[in-house]
Chains A and B, each alone.
Chain A
Amino acid sequence: MSINAQFDIQLPEFHLAIELALAEGEVLAVLGPNGSGKSTLLRALCGLQPVDNGKILLNNIVVDDAELATFVLPEQRHVGVMFQNSTLFEYLSVLENVAFGLRARGTKRVVARANATEWLERFSLEQFAQRRPASLSGGQAQRVALARALATNPDVLLLDEPTSALDVRAKAEIRRDLLRLRQQRPVTTLLVTHDPLDAFALADRVIVLEEGRIVQSGALDEVASHPRSRHIADMVGLSLVRGEVRDGALTTASGARLVVPADSPSGPSVASIRPAAVSLHRAEPEGSARNAWKMTVSDLDRHPERVRARLNGPIPLLAELTPAGAEALALNVGDNIWASVKASEVTVTPDLGS
């Protein structure tokens, strides 16, 4: 199902202006700091917040139109929502939580429970079926919330900060579940997050919201190479390196080696590197930095305050330097250059992948 939205919402001291379109099966990540209007956008799409101007179409059907005074109630929109933090019903068991949506739509108890059990099994949560939500960990609760949102077979999935406030392991589990889901049955998904790793793992495209406005949109790579603001640069610049960690080093599928902090757990992992942590040198660096590769500059984004360089080589990287630094290196597209990263600047996350 597609989403087309073009609307304004005026809240006290806050104005949200949105224009976006999602094709069937597409995953769009909405990035932005707290208070940028991400959650309000999501509430408007699922019908918890009416728009003041403009309209929202789900599958080319108008669900909210300020001029036509059309408004489809949330329970009739067939949109699955996974809210920030758990909004599980404390007084119902995990099984009843997942069965809730079907029960609310009039499905018989037995059928709804059987369906809910299937969803719990799909997420390996069946052992918690009779537990109360309060006894679950944060990650388990979020995965139950995801199962609950999916159990009604929604046409559109809205995810509000699905991994915030979780530990690294639980974040990775949620991403794995969402990724699997995408491979099995592509659902049109809007993913609200301030964690670029979520976007990297799941999204086809991103839009960046700041103070209620879309300040940039496009493919994630494109936005990361040409960020339009300091904030976007900080948020989306991460270079991700997949591979296997063993004995303090990560080896990629192509055989490149990245030294990581010594306490990183072994196994399949994703290493992330901030562009500012990448140093560039004309000659092969000597000394403490053990990660050094010979690279080619494939793209340069010159900005008065910073220069971003996309580097191709054994480990593709984004590097950021000051305009003065770029000047000193006389950096140009097509140049060969040495890039180095300190092991302590590398962050490692378990990769539960697909």
Chain B
Amino acid sequence: MSQLRRTRNRSAGLQRPPAAILVIASIAVAFFALPFIGLLWRIPWSDAWSLLTTKSSLTAIRLSLETSLWATALSIVFGVPLAWVLARYGFPGRRIVRALCLLSLVLPPVVGGVALFAAYGRRGLLGDSLFEWFGLRLPFSTAGVVLAQTFIAMPFLVLTVEAALRGLDHRSEDAARTLGASRWYAFRRVTLPAVRPALIAGAVLAWARALGEFGATITFAGNFPGRTQTMPLSVYLALESNPGQALVLSVVMIGISFGVLLSLRDQWLGGSSTSGGSR
């Protein structure tokens, strides 16, 4: 028994990182943690519930949930086929198409909003036609919010699903084909179930990103309460007029984001898990 304990202690010492690295890493953790602790410290807890349930707060929350869920749905509907094409078909210029579709990941969202204007704005590339054909005016509308959020959030889903599709053994699909499955049936019954964990992870990531979208939304859709004023926008606005409300809304959004990250397994965020090997 004592022999066992000594062995365990020895091996623990073997794996412990050097002190200097521990100190620096701790500073990094504090750097991330302090803003949230500060937020929790500053929050007017006694008024928190009433601030959260003011009409303007509730309107922003409802609008945010609606638009972000729409954006997630659109990201899935268009993102999965896009990921499939990018993962499976070698066509000339694929790298350029891929970079184009993932550009908004690295673009400042405000620039994205300006670009959306150039395409779908009233004087944009498609703005007139959209209005004439469908009676659709995207800028400064709730639909515009959804468009801006989808523009920013979809690449997260595409990246995740594409990686999963690339990693998939195509022989399962081959087997399905020889069993009489059409390409579409094989995709539905074999490919899709195999990438479902990645699809869920991608959708959750995209949803969280859509929920927090600020720059493209305010540029393209403006800031109209009840129509385009989502939670991040109302936080920004309330900061001057009603700092308490801004703090409470911030904490709600942090809570949601934190929950999303915790719910996703490490593997889908590109980090290798050291806790508990898989199976």
Question: A79 an interface residue at 8 Å Cβ cutoff?
Answer: yes
In the assembled complex, which residues on chain B have CB atoms less than 8 Å from the CB atom of A80? 178-179
Query: Which among A87-95, A164-172, A220-228, A280-288 touches the partner chain?
Result: A87-95
Cα(A92)–Cα(B186), bound, Å = 13
B178 touches A46 (CB 8 A): yes
Chain B positions 9 through 23: 1 when the CB is less than 8 Å from some CB of chain A, otherwise 0: 000000000000000
Interfacial residues, chain B to chain A (CB-CB below 8 A):
169, 171-172, 174-182, 185-186, 189-190, 193-194, 196
The residues of B that contact A100 with a CB separation of less than 8 Å are 176, 179, 181, 189
Inter-chain contact A87/B175, CB cutoff 8 Å: yes
Whether A340 is near chain B, meaning CB under 8 Å from some CB there, is no
Contact (Cβ within 8 A) B178 A104 = no
9 pairs of A and B residues whose beta carbons are closest in the complex: A101-B179, A104-B181, A91-B193, A87-B175, A74-B177, A81-B178, A104-B180, A105-B180, A87-B171
- Residues in A whose Cβ lies below 8 Å from that of B186: 104
Closest to A100 in B: B179
Can you list 21 A-B pairs, Cβ within 8 angstroms, ordered by A?
A47-B177, A48-B177, A73-B177, A74-B174, A74-B178, A75-B178, A75-B180, A75-B181, A78-B180, A83-B171, A87-B169, A87-B172, A87-B175, A90-B172, A92-B189, A100-B179, A101-B179, A103-B189, A104-B181, A104-B185, A104-B186
B177 touching A89, Cβ below 8 Å: no
User: Cβ of B174 and Cβ of A48 under 8 Å apart?
Assistant: yes
A residues touching B (Cβ–Cβ < 8 Å)?
Answer: 43, 46-48, 73-81, 83, 87, 89-92, 100-101, 103-105, 148-149, 152
B175→A91 contact, CB < 8 A: no
Contact assessment for A79 and B178 in the assembled complex, using a CB-CB cutoff below 8 Å:
yes
B175 touches A81 (CB 8 A): yes
B177 partner residues in chain A, CB cutoff 8 A: 47-48, 73-75
Rounded to whole Å, the gap between the CB of B169 and the closest CB of chain A is 8
CB distance from A108 to the nearest CB of B (A): 15
Closest-by-CB residue of B relative to A158 is B178
- Residue in chain B with minimal CB distance to A148: B179
Once the chains bind, are B175 and A83 in contact (CB under 8 Å)? yes
Return the chain B residue nearest A80 by Cβ.
Answer: B178
Residues on the B chain within 8 Å of A91, using CB: 193-194, 196
Nearest-Cβ distance from residue A3 to partner chain B, whole angstroms = 15
Q: Shortest Cβ distance from A244 into chain B, in angstroms?
A: 39
Contact residues in B for A76 (Cβ distance below 8 Å): 180
Complex Cα gap A87–B186 (Å)? 13
Q: How far is the CA of A46 from the CA of B172 in the complex (A)?
A: 14
17 additional A-B residue pairs with CB within 8 Å, beyond A104-B181, A104-B185: A43-B174, A48-B178, A76-B180, A80-B179, A83-B171, A87-B172, A87-B175, A89-B189, A91-B196, A92-B189, A101-B179, A101-B181, A103-B189, A104-B182, A104-B189, A148-B179, A152-B179
Alpha-carbon distance between A152 and B190 when the two chains are bound, in angstroms? 18
Cα separation A43 to B170 with both chains bound (whole Å): 13
Residues of A within 8 A of B182 (CB): 75, 104
List chain B residues, Cβ under 8 A from A75. 177-182
Distance in angstroms from A139 CB to nearest chain B CB is 18
Closest B residue by C-beta to A75:
B180
The answer to whether B178 touches A89, judged by C-beta atoms less than 8 angstroms apart, is no
Q: Which residues of B contact A46 (CB under 8 A)?
A: 178
In this complex, the member of B176, B177, B189 whose beta carbon has the largest number of chain A beta carbons within 10 angstroms is B177
What's the minimum C-beta distance from B261 to chain A, rounded to whole angstroms? Answer: 26
- Bound complex: CA A158 to CA B234 (Å): 65
A83 to B175, CA, bound (A): 8
Contact flag A104-B179 (CB < 8 Å), given A90-B194, A91-B193, A91-B194:
yes
* Residue among A43, A74, A78, A152 having the largest count of chain B Cβ atoms under 10 Å: A74
Contacts of A149 in B (CB 8 A): 178-179
